[in-house]
Structure 1
Amino acid sequence: MAGRITPAQGRYGGKDAAERRAERRARFREAGLECFGAGPGYRATRLGDLCKAAGLSTRQFYEEYRTLEDLLADLHLYVNEVAQQAVLDVLPDVRDLPAVERITAYVRAYVRGATCDMRHARIAYVEIVGVGPRMDRRRLQRRAVWIEMMSRMAGEAVERGEAPPGDYRITAAALIGAVNGLMHDWAVGWVDATLEEIAGELLQIVLGRYKIAT
């Protein structure tokens, strides 16, 4: 199995090793977004094609990653962080609003963040499915982050008397499954709906489970 090659140190072309590495990774990530998220997809992408899209060599790829799956895992983390940050960005503006308005803002922010680039949606909901045990573990680790985030929000609603007490970690896990299923089917074209309709459906699922009157 190919392993990572140690990149050259020192300055070259006016950039130090850290700057060159950051630039390479950015170019490989963009190429991965394009090949996995807009082009042939992860399974049909060859290393040579990815490197050609990045304008870099296979040696330079192995300085950053061991396999294409490592790049996919990197992109999966990145697109999840974009979606999560979209939710975090609205928190200061809605923290004092009633539960319905807060949850509406959270759901819409998530949908915007997850679909701000359709390549993100394809990677997050389609390309990572069924890749293998290692990727499945990474998906579960990331899912745990979302479960924790949703549980905190539910706990806040309970503390304010806006939702009845309950084990909302189970709820969060169930909701994430529903979100992933719906977004997968939407991303591959099996569900014909606007993003507003998608957000509206997810909102009704969340409000219904939390027993929050609209």
Structure 2
Amino acid sequence: MATTPLRVYGGVTGSDRQAERRALFIESGLELLGSPDGEAALTVRGVCRQAGLANRYFYESFTDRDELATAVYDHVVNEIATTALDAVAVVQEPERKVRTGLARIVRLIADDPRRGRLLFSPFLSGTPLVHRRTESTRLFTQLLGTQARQVYGMQGSTRLELLSGFLVGGLAQTLTTWLDGELDATEPEVVEWCAEIFLATSEFPQQPGRTSIHVPDGSEP
């Protein structure tokens, strides 16, 4: 069956108009998912009302609300990852790379707290977002590992995977606490303190030997 081509109106092609509507739905979806009601607020009718578009336009790009939620999440993750990588790409000095990348991530989330709620809020626990959070954690862990190999010459290893996962998870928890107002720190302090932790891990030996752990027997002061 032949597909009817989308016509041009006012110099804008049908495909461009459809792309614009999709972008508007994603922005409206972020507004709803980032609200106090979270996933409960995200309905087809609700997002169409938020976007100011008829329901029929929703189904041009999405089959249901779960597909929209996934698209919104992917949009935010890609935006953060791309922006951070672009920022560090123009910096040569390793320590500045770390601080620049962290500063850009923290700024993006501080500029738009909806991003942080989408990425970290425990109230957004629907099936598609749980799956996407697992995938995004793996993505950021891989990106951090790649940067460590390129910048510090670290070899790929289970140890590097462990460190990368630990840092990504720790940063996520720190930003969650900070966004919730439970961490009394300024934005520059968050960036600097996290950078100190990230930089400290670059000094760990890559092939650590087994070390003994001293356990006090109770007789020591």
TM-score bin, normalised by smaller chain: 0.7 to 0.9
Q: Give distance in 2, aligned partners of 1:128 and 1:142.
A: 17
Q: Give distance in 1, aligned partners of 2:184 and 2:59.
A: 40
Q: 2:82 aligns with which of 59, 75, 85?
A: 85
- Whether the 8 Å CA contact 2:84–2:104 is kept in 1: the answer is yes
Q: 1:31 aligns with which of 25, 28, 33?
A: 28
Q: Give distance in 2, aligned partners of 1:147 and 1:165.
A: 12
**Distance of aligned partners of 1:12 and 1:198 in 2 relative to their CA distance in 1, 3 Å threshold:** same
1:110 paired to 2:102? no
Q: 1:150 aligns with which of 138, 144, 148?
A: 144
Larger radius of gyration: 2
Q: Where do 1:6-85 residues align within 5 Å?
A: 9-11=5-7, 13-14=9-10, 15-38=12-35, 40-85=37-82
Q: Give distance in 1, aligned partners of 2:100 and 2:17.
A: 39
Q: Where do 1:145-184 residues align within 5 Å?
A: 145-159=139-153, 167-184=159-176
Q: Give distance in 1, aligned partners of 2:62 and 2:36.
A: 20
- Whether the 8 Å CA contact 1:87–1:106 is kept in 2: the answer is yes
Q: What stretches of structure 1 of length at least 5 have no aligned partner?
A: 1-6
Which letter does structure 2 place at the counterpart of 1:49? Answer: G
Per-residue deviation, residues 104-148 of structure 1 (Å, max 9, x unmatched):
22221222233332222221222774212x332222222222112
Root-mean-square deviation over aligned CA pairs: 2.7
| Matched position secondary structure for 1:42 | helix
| Matched position secondary structure for 2:40 | coil
Q: What stretches of structure 2 of length at least 5 have no aligned partner?
A: 205-221
Give the corresponding residue for 1:4: none
- Whether the 8 Å CA contact 1:80–1:114 is kept in 2: the answer is no
Task: Tell me how many residue pairs correspond in the alignment.
Answer: 200
Matched residues, percent identical? 23
Per-residue deviation, residues 137-186 of structure 1 (Å, max 9, x unmatched):
22222222211211122123442xxx799621111111111111122222
Q: Where do 1:129-148 residues align within 5 Å?
A: 129-132=124-127, 134-148=128-142
Q: CA deviation at 1:28?
A: 0.6
| Matched position secondary structure for 2:67 | helix
Q: TM-score, normalised by structure 2?
A: 0.77
**Distance of aligned partners of 1:209 and 1:48 in 2 relative to their CA distance in 1, 3 Å threshold:** same
